[in-house]
Amino acid sequence: MIEYENLKAANQGLSGELLAAVKRVIESGWYILGQEVQAFEQEFAHALQVGHCIGVANGLDALTLSFKALELPAGAEVLVASNTYIATILAIVHAGLTPVLVEPDLATYNMDPRQLRPVLTRRTAAICVTHLYGKPCRMDLICAFATEHGLHVVEDCAQSHGARLKDKATGTFGIAGCFSFYPTKNLGALGDAGTIVTNDKSFADRLRHWRNYGSKVKYVNTYAGYNSRLDEMQAAILRVKLAHLEAITTHKRRLATMYFNLLPRELVLPARQVDELDVFHIFAVRHARRDALRGWLLDQGVKTEVHYPIPPHRQEAMKGILSGDYPIAEQIHSSILSLPISFATSEQDVQSVCETIRQFPGLGD
Ligand SMILES: *Cc1c(COP(=O)(O)O)cnc(C)c1O
């Protein structure tokens, strides 16, 4: 059986370092907002070449707190891709703002800059991009549009740790870069964790309060804040993982190159652009008979995933919040398939996956 993901195997090589980090935290006697969080925040900011980093409890909170700290008028509109993961949209809703869906580019699965102007209104206050599957969005075009219209840019980087456009890290283009360190992400904790990066000092200060009950001074509350703190244990674990992020990215990019070389042309492969560093959190292909292909692969011992089976506007939770038709999102959701590309996936695995796909009887349909 070729697994889609195997976290035990992915983390096995680091177990000595991880145990030492956990031991260090246990023995420190300090478990919330201490030296490990501070050190991780500095190391992550340095890795991305960004001014400030604020550790929080998870990726959804990183997004929600960012929207809160922007202090936009209630109901202000945020432009967001119609094929993003639901968390991006939930954050906008939880912050009291209005999500407005923008169709992606069918070639890249990322927000299509050409679709922004038609949905712009007087109430538009921000654009929230998702660097989906680890591929950077066209921030050159999106930021130019945002500047022209006075809009904030928030980046959902939950899938794009280390991804770059024109050698600039995703998360550093807009006011806020929001990261998740959910265990399966390219940079994964051993539990829930997230962070926000920013170059805006006063925005960073507000976020530090928002994550800690809205409190600047202990027992003095400035905002009706949250409890969303990155804990010392996960921060210590993330410091170990961060030192290996480049090796993880290199491994995934090597597997991606093999897929590009070995997969049959009957599949639609990810787009590649020379000025983009794609970190392939997910290797997504498309095929008209996706479900049949997926079932057949499983029968042959290859596990795959679908990111995602139901577009946000079709989710029951979004009734009364999202409306309209999004044919490109529908097309992606009905044909997309994620192939194994974990740190625990071997080159041999990728070879087998590609050979198996070549034998799929419905390949040319
Ligand atoms: C994983 C993910 C999130 C949410 O992160 P959590 O840490 O699970 O809250 C948000 N957006 C995208 C695109 C994601 O993939």
Which tens digit of pLDDT belongs to each residue from 93-124?
Answer: 999 999 999 999 999 999 999 999 999 999 99
24 has pLDDT over 90: yes
With tokens 């890249």, the residue in question is: 108
Counting Cβ atoms within 10 Å, is residue 27 exposed (0-12), middle (13-18) or buried (19+)?
exposed
For the entire predicted model, the pTM comes to: 0.98
Q: Does 179 have pLDDT greater than 90?
A: yes
Single-letter residue type at 295: G
The verdict on the CB of residue 87 being under 6 Å from ligand 1 is yes
Q: Which atom of ligand 1 is nearest to the CA of 194?
A: 7
Query: What is the pLDDT, as a whole number, of residue 240?
Result: 98
CATH number reported for the structural domain that contains residue 299 in this entry: 3.90.1150.10
Res. 156: pLDDT tops 90? yes
Which of 5, 64, 85 for mutating ligand 1's site (highest number of atoms within 8 Å of CB)? 85
| Together in a domain, 237 and 267 | no
- Same domain for 85 and 231, yes or no, is yes
60-95 per-position pLDDT tens digit: 999 999 999 999 999 999 999 999 999 999 999 999
Residues 142 and 276 in one domain: no
Q: Are 353 and 306 in contact (CB under 8 A)?
A: no
Q: What is the pLDDT of residue 217?
A: 86
For residue 303, is it within any domain? yes
What domain range is 130 assigned to?
Answer: 7-102+110-242
According to DSSP, residue 223 is labeled S
Q: What pLDDT band is residue 35 in, cutting at 50, 70 and 90?
A: very high
- Condensed to tens digits (0 to 9), the pLDDT of residues 210-266 reads 999 999 888 999 999 999 999 999 999 999 999 999 999 999 999 999 999 999 999
User: Dihedrals φ, ψ of 338, to 5°?
Assistant: -100, 125
| Confidence check: pLDDT of 277 > 90 | yes
Question: Which ligand 1 atom is nearest residue 85's CA?
Answer: 13
Domain boundary among 194, 227, 242: 242
- Kindly tell me if the per-residue pLDDT of 44 is higher than 90: yes
Q: Which residues pair with 220 in a beta bridge?
A: 217
- Domain boundary, last residue among 218, 242, 266: 242
Rounded average pLDDT over 124-140: 98
271 φψ region: left (φ > 0), alpha (ψ -120 to 50), beta (else): beta
Based on the domain organization, do 195 and 251 belong to the same domain?
A: no
365 falls within a domain? no
Residues 186 and 133 in one domain: yes
In a domain, 249, yes or no: yes
- My answer on whether 206 and 352 are in the same domain is no
Pair 236, 270 in one domain: no
Q: Are residues 173 and 252 in the same domain?
A: no
How far is the centre of ligand 1, averaged over its atoms, from the C-alpha of 107 (Å)?
23
How far does the centroid of ligand 1 lie from the alpha carbon of residue 228, in Å?
15
CA–centroid distance, residue 145 to ligand 1 (Å): 25
Indicate the pLDDT class of residue 186, thresholds 50, 70 and 90.
very high
Would you say residue 16 lies in a domain? Answer: yes
Cβ–ligand 1 distance for 182 under 6 Å, the answer yes
159/45 same-domain check: yes
Beta bridge partners of 276: 165
How high is the pLDDT of residue 332?
98
Residue 1 counted as domain residue = no
- What is residue 365's predicted lDDT score, i.e. its pLDDT? 83
Q: Which among 287, 273, 280, 233 has a CA at the least distance from the CA of 259?
A: 280
The pLDDT > 90 percentage for the chain reads 97
Are 238 and 249 in a shared domain? no
How many domains does the chain divide into? 2
Asked if residue 294 and residue 269 are part of one domain, the reply reads yes
364 falls within a domain = no
What spacing in Å lies between the alpha carbon of 60 and ligand 1's midpoint?
A: 6
Is residue 121 domain-shared with residue 26, that is, in the same domain?
yes
Residue 47 belongs to a domain with what CATH number? 3.40.640.10
Q: What is the pLDDT of residue 216?
A: 83
The ligand 1 atom nearest the CA atom of 281: 15
**Single residue among 177, 208, 242 that ends a domain in this structure:** 242
